[in-house]
Amino acid sequence: MNDGYIKVAALSPKIRVADPKYNMQAILRQVKEAAQEGARVMVFPELCMTGYSCGDLFLQELLLEEAKNQLFLLAEQTAQVDAVIFVGLPFAYQDKLYNTAAALCHGKILGIVPKTFLPNYAEFYEARHFSKGMQKTVPVTLREGMTVPMGTDQLFVCDTVPGLKLAAELCEDVWAPQPPSIRHALAGAVLIVNLSASDEVTGKDVYRRDLIAGQSARLVCGYLYANASDGESTQDVVYAGQSLIAENGILLNESARFTNEAVYSEIDVQKLRSERRRMSTFEPSDADGYTVTHFSIKSSRTTLTRFIDPMPFVPGSRADRDKRCEEILSIQAMGLKKRLEHTGCRCAVAGISGGLDSTLALLVTVRAFDLLCIPRGEILAVTMPGFGTTDRTYANAVEFIRCLGADLREISIRDAVHIHFQDIGQDPYAHDVTYENSQARERTQILMDLANKYNGMVIGTGDLSELALGWATYNGDHMSMYGVNASVPKTLVRHLVRYYADTCKDRTLRTVLLDILDTPVSPELLPPKEGRISQRTEDLVGPYELHDFFLYYILRFGYRPRKVLRLALTAFDGVYESETVLKWMKTFYRRFFSQQFKRSCLPDGPKVGTVALSPRGDLRMPSDASVRIWMDEVEELEHMQDAFGIE
C-alpha cells in the first residue's frame, strides 16, 4: 500500500578535491545509509566524483579517466541497492568536456545528462573547461559493450511505481530564464533532480530556497536539490550545502548549512499527477524527441516522515495565521460589500445565536458596512430564543450585538412553533427531526420577512463543514440571500473569531468572544439539561477537525479512502484510535453523498480558499451519485489491521 509515495534523499558527502577514489567511497557510504532509510531516489551534488572546484585540473586526462572508472565501480558496488542514483562527474565526448549527471540503477548506467547553462562570471569559469550539453541525446560508448544515451532531453521512467518519471538538470540550469526542467515537466517528469554546487554568500540561502520551492510550484512537480558542501575547496568561496526537497511549492525538508547533512522526505507522485489533471493551464507536450529509459525498483510501503498537518485549513505559525485571518475577513467583507452595493440594500438581517458561525457572520457584516460607510445600526441582529436556547448563549448573543452597535431585535419563536405543531399535528414532547427543523425554519421565516419589511438582505451563517456534512435544515438555516461563511471550514471559523478577539480594543467585546469560543458547538434545538447545552454537534456527527481533514484531502486532491485514512492516522496519532477515525470517515462519506441536494441550490457566497462547495464552479456533483465504491473500500479497511499502523 504505497499510496503514491516515493522516498527520496538529497545527499552531500564530504569529499576530497581531485580524488575520485576517495570520493566514490564517500558516495557509496551515503548510498548504503540512504538505502537503509528506505530511499528509492538519491541525488548527489554536481561533479561530486571529482569535486566541483578542481579548476584547470579538469583538463587532466588522468582525472577524467579515473572519474569514469570510479563511476563503473560505483555502479557495480550498488547493484544490490534498490534505488535510482544520480551522481555528478566530468565526462569527455568527442574531444569536448561536459559537466554531467550519471543515472545508475541496479548496477547499470541508465544515461548521462549534461549541463545546459554554464556560468562564466566572478569565481565560476565553467565555460573555460566545459561545453554546453546537447539537447537531443546521442549514443555514447562508455566501454566495450556499454552504450548509453547522453543528452539533456531524457526521461527515466519507473515501471513498478505508477507515474514516476524523473529528469535531471544541473545547478545553473534552474537559475536560467528557461530551465530545462520546464521541458522535462511538460514531457511528463513529475520529479526533477538537480545536482548542484552553489557557493554561499550572505542572503543567498533565502533566494535559493524560494527558487527551488517556486520551481516545484510552477512545474507542479517534486524537486530534489543536492548541493555541494564541506570538502570542496575554499580557496575563493565556501560551499555550505543547503540541500532541499520541495513538492508543488511546499518545502518538505532542508539540510542545515555548513554541514554534510543528508535529507529525506517522501514525494507524493499521486498528488502531483492529480494536480496536473486539474490544471487546465498545465498543457503537457508529447515526449517526442525525448529518450525514455525504463528502470524498476520494488514497490513497497513507504514510511512517512513528512509532516501531515491535522488542520490543513489553518496556517501553522501565529504570524501566518494572523495574516491569513485578516485576508479571509477582507475577502468575506468585500464579497458582501459588492452584493450590498449592487442590490442597493442598506440593511442586513442576521440571526445571532451566540455560536461561532453567526458570530463570524456578524463580524463580517459589520466590516462590510464600515467599508460602505453605512451606520451599524442598519444591521438587524436578531436573537430568536427557542426550546434549546441556554442562558449562556442568549446572554452572549445580546452582549455581542450591543458591543458592535447593531440593532438588537429579540423575537422568541416558542409560541409560533407551538402553533405550528398544532397545525401539523406534531407532538411537542416528541423531540424528533420535525421538532428540531420546525424551529430552524421558523427562524429563517422571521429573518426573510424582516428583510422584506426593511428592504434588507439575509446574511447566511452556515460554514463549509456544515455544508459538506449536510448539517443544515433544508430551507431553514440552509437558506439566505448571501452566505458569507460558505467556504470557511469550522476549524478555521474558530481561528477567525479568535483573531478578532485578540486584535479588538474593546475589552467587553473580547470577553464575550472568548466565551463564545469556549461554548460547545450546538444547534440548541433540544431543551437544555439543568440549564446547560444538551445537544453537542460533535457528539452526533463527529469531531469537526476530522471531518475538515477528510474534506480537504478528498476534495482538494481526490484521494481514495485508503490514503485518507493513512494520512489521518499519521496526523492524529495519539489523538484518535483507528476505529474512531474509521467510524467518522464512514459518517463523512455517507453524509457527503446523501446531502448533495442541499449544496446543489446554495445561495451565493465568496470563495476564500482552494476547497469550496459552490455548485456553480467548485463542486459539480449529481445529487443522486452512489457512494458505494467509497463505502466498500472503507469497510474493507475495517478488516485490514495493517492499515491501522501509525508510521
Calpha distance 196→174 (Å, rounded): 10
Active site residue 171: yes
- Dihedral angle sign, alpha carbons of residues 618, 624, 627, 628: negative
In single-letter form, the type of residue at position 513 comes to L
Beta bridge partners of 604: none
Q: Which helix H or strand E contains 6, and what residues bound it?
A: strand 5-10
Calpha distance 58→101 (Å, rounded): 16
Calpha distance 390→520 (Å, rounded): 12
Do 323 and 446 meet the contact criterion of CB atoms below 8 Å apart? no
- Residue of 46, 66, 169, 399 with catalytic role: 46
Active site residue 115: yes
Smallest Cα–Cα separation from 170: which of 40, 11, 295, 47?
Answer: 47
CB atoms within 10 A of CB 373: 6
Residues found in the chain: 647
The dihedral formed by the CA atoms of 481, 498, 568 and 192, expressed in degrees to the nearest 10 = 90
Q: Which residues contact 515 (CB under 8 A, 6 or more apart)?
A: 392, 396
- Residue of 7, 54, 105, 115 with catalytic role: 115
Calpha distance 292→298 (Å, rounded): 20
Query: DSSP secondary structure string, 145-189?
Result: TEEEEESS-EEEEESSSTT-EEEEEETHHHHSSS-HHHHHHHTT-
- Residue of 48, 54, 171, 325 with catalytic role: 171
Do 271 and 557 meet the contact criterion of CB atoms below 8 Å apart? yes
**What is the β-pairing status of strands 5-10 and 263-268?**
antiparallel
Calpha distance 134→113 (Å, rounded): 9
Smallest Cα–Cα separation from 480: which of 445, 454, 455?
Answer: 445
Calpha distance 595→583 (Å, rounded): 18
Q: Active-site residues: which are they?
A: 46, 115, 171
